[in-house]
């Protein structure tokens, strides 16, 4: 350590990340009078919405639902333009929030946390950035996001490729011009499905390398109707309250729905058609049992498969696009604009990697077991090490120097998804075992940060120095998370929800599927009861 670093700057709370979670944590903890700082690897705020600036990037939660509720003036002044907000619009919103609440001066940009070690004698975290700067803080709040640790598959020969390599999750800031180029896209999750139609419209030729076909529903995105928008903006508080207390927090009007198999085939078809035409993920929730009953799930899966076959003119291509080996919704349902119709374009080709896997990337393209595809540009839309990836990317050591990676070697464990036994004063916003990626992230983030703020206030009220999850409370919570997951079809899919996309990652269902409203009720009850399950020392 240098002389300067031997006197690390002391903070009450250091927050890692300046996306939706980090910005609200800064705002909320500063308001409590804490000395706060955020570290952000990027050169601007935005998190997910900073990095994922690929063509077609858009939130799959409707814009009127996907914004902060903590400030009525902010709600009044920000006017969303489209049903589903585009990445640039969400990024502008977060930039506005950072400026409006004067948060920028509290953020150290281009600064990545490398190590965090808990100093038991001082009850403080000792932090070290990748550049070697040292800081110390009472509380460490990981607001690092659930889909922020990008994954590039180790395909042999990638380093030899002579063309341009792009990654949807680290897209360049300057516009990419695909005109006249032969482009390849590897990956058909949400990022691939959103970008493929846009790239196809620009490129001379597009080859899509698909390993697993996904279910996708049309967004039917459009400018917001000004009258409807005004009505919602005038009624934000009850609308937000509906979202907060709902099961999914994704849609406000969660009236009880019938079971799929209680409907006649004609009624079901009518219902599915109506929701398909309306667009978006509501289709998943228009019957109550899609995610818990295989037979019910089959009815919706078959409906979507029929839409794929109806849209894609070439039957062999349509068949390749039809998902076969997982129940609909157990991998995140994609929301698209013209995805399936894109395969009717003369300049688009679909390669099924299950039939003909990639052998290598060559200086001039991609070689599969069947063919060599010449390319000038290769786009990776190959996903993330979800939920735990960004946490484990930091060398975090808790009590007795125990590495987090060791504590989580059999899968992540955290009480309420928010605190880890053995890691005092460390909080994980939207951590494993919280509703996180199955919820409306903004709703969950506000709830988590408010809970964390309440817990910090509880510690302060007792003149405490540290708070920690109790091992038994953690075990009970993790058991509950797994039990609830087992009542659903989710564990059947090899999805990133299960950690299956990362070789060697424990196969554990990562989010809490017991419902956003019920989760909030449990958290509220815990707070009201004086935070049982947490030890203040």
Which residues make up the interface to ligand NA7 (CB under 6 A)?
A: 147, 153, 168, 186-192, 209, 211-212, 332, 353, 381-384, 496, 501
Q: How far is the CB of 373 from ligand NA7 (least distance, A)?
A: 13
Structure tokens at 218: 């049309």
Closest separation in Å from C-beta 193 to ligand NA7: 7
- Closest to ligand NA7 by CB, 354 vs 409, is 354
Least distance from C-beta 414 to ligand NA7, angstroms?
21
Buried b (16+ CB within 10 A) or exposed e, 65-90: bbbbbbeeebbeebebebbbbbbebb
Q: Which residue, 247 or 496, is less far from ligand NA7 as judged by CB?
A: 496
Residue 382 to residue 312: CA distance in whole angstroms? 24
Contact of 358 with 155, CB cutoff 8 Å: yes
Encoding tokens for residue 6? 């031997």
CB of 210 to ligand NA7, least distance (A): 7
Q: Closer to ligand NA7 at the Cβ: 271 or 320?
A: 320
Strand 365-368 vs strand 358-362: parallel, antiparallel, or unpaired?
Answer: antiparallel
Cα separation values, 434 from 59, 134, 286, 475, Å: 20, 31, 24, 14
Nearer to ligand NA7, 11 or 343 (CB): 343
* Min separation Cβ 524 and ligand NA7, Å: 27
d(CA 86, CA 222): 11
As a whole number of angstroms, the distance between CA 27 and CA 23 comes to 6
Residue among 48 and 425 whose Cβ is closer to ligand NA7: 48
Q: What is the Cβ-side half-sphere exposure of residue 226, based on CA atoms within 13 angstroms? A: 0
Beta-carbon contacts of residue 429 (< 8 Å; ≥ 6 apart): 21, 25, 141, 142, 143, 418, 445, 448, 449, 452
Report the nearest approach of ligand NA7 to the CB of residue 270 (Å).
29
Which residue, 147 or 404, is less far from ligand NA7 as judged by CB?
147
Q: Least distance in Å: CB of 503 to ligand NA7?
A: 10
Between residues 312 and 438, which has the closer beta carbon with respect to ligand NA7?
Answer: 438
Task: For the CB of residue 239, give the shortest distance to ligand NA7 in the complex, in Å.
Answer: 23
Nearer to ligand NA7, 103 or 437 (CB): 437
> Nearest to residue 120, comparing CAs of 465, 536, 531, 471?
465
Using CB positions, name the residue nearest to ligand NA7: 189
Q: Is residue 433 classed exposed, middle or buried when 0-12, 13-18 and 19+ CB atoms within 10 A define those classes?
A: buried
At 442, which helix (H) or strand (E)?
helix 441-461
CA torsion angle 494 498 500 506 (round to 10): -140
Contact between residue 198 and residue 338 where contact means Cβ atoms under 8 Å apart? no
Rounded Cα gap, residues 412 and 387, in angstroms: 10
Nearer to ligand NA7, 51 or 534 (CB): 51
Relative to beta strand 164-167, strand 377-380 is: parallel
Residue 207 Cβ, how far from ligand NA7 at the closest point, in Å? 12
């Amino acid at each position: 350590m240098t002389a300067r670093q031997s006197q690390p700057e002391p903070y009450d709370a250091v927050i890692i990340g300046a996306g939706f979670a980090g910005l609200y944590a800064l705002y909320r903890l500063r308001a409590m009078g804490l000395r706060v700082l955020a570290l952000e690897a990027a050169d601007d705020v935005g998190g997910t919405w900073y990095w994922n600036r690929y063509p077609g990037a858009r939130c799959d939660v409707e814009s009127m639902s996907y914004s902060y509720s903590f400030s009525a003036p902010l709600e009044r002044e920000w006017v969303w333009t489209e049903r589903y907000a585009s990445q640039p619009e969400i990024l502008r919103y977060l930039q506005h929030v950072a400026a409006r609440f004067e948060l920028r001066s509290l953020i150290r940009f281009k600064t990545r946390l490398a190590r965090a070690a808990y100093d038991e004698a001082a009850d403080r975290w000792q932090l070290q950035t990748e550049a070697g700067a040292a800081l110390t803080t009472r509380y460490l709040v990981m607001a690092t996001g659930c889909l922020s640790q990008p994954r590039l598959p180790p395909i042999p020969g990638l380093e030899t490729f002579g063309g341009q390599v792009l990654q949807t999750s680290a897209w360049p800031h300057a516009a990419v011009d695909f005109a006249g180029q032969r482009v390849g896209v590897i990956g058909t999750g949400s990022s691939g499905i959103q970008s493929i139609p846009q790239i196809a419209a620009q490129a001379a030729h597009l080859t899509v390398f698909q390993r697993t076909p996904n279910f996708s529903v049309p967004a039917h995105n459009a400018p917001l109707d000004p009258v409807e928008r005004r009505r919602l903006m005038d009624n934000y508080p009850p609308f937000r309250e509906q979202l907060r207390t709902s099961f999914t927090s994704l849609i406000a009007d969660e009236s009880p729905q019938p079971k799929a198999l209680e409907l006649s085939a004609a009624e079901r078809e009518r219902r599915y058609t109506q929701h398909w035409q309306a667009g978006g993920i509501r289709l998943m929730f228009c019957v109550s049992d899609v995610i818990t009953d295989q037979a019910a799930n089959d009815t919706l899966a078959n409906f979507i498969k029929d839409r794929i076959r109806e849209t894609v003119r070439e039957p062999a291509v349509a068949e390749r696009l039809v998902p076969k080996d997982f129940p609909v919704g157990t991998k995140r349902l994609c929301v698209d604009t013209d995805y399936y119709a894109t395969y009717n374009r003369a300049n688009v080709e679909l390669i099924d990697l299950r039939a003909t896997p990639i052998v290598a990337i060559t200086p001039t393209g991609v070689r599969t077991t069947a063919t060599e595809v010449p390319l000038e540009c290769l786009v990776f839309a190959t996903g993330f090490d979800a939920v735990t990836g960004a946490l484990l990317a930091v060398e975090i050591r808790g009590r007795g120097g125990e590495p987090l990676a060791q504590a989580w070697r059999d899968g992540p464990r955290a009480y309420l998804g928010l605190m880890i036994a053995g890691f005092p004063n460390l909080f994980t916003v939207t951590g494993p075992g919280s509703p996180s990626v199955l919820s409306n992230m903004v709703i969950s983030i506000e709830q988590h940060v408010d809970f964390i703020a309440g817990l910090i206030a509880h510690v302060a009220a007792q003149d405490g120095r540290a708070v920690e999850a109790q091992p038994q409370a953690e075990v009970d919570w993790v058991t509950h998370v797994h039990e609830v997951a087992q009542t659903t079809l989710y564990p059947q899919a090899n999805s990133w929800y299960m950690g299956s996309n990362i070789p060697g990652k424990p196969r554990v269902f990562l989010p809490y599927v017991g419902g956003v409203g019920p989760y909030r009720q449990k958290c509220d009850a815990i707070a009201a009861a004086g935070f049982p399950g947490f030890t203040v020392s």
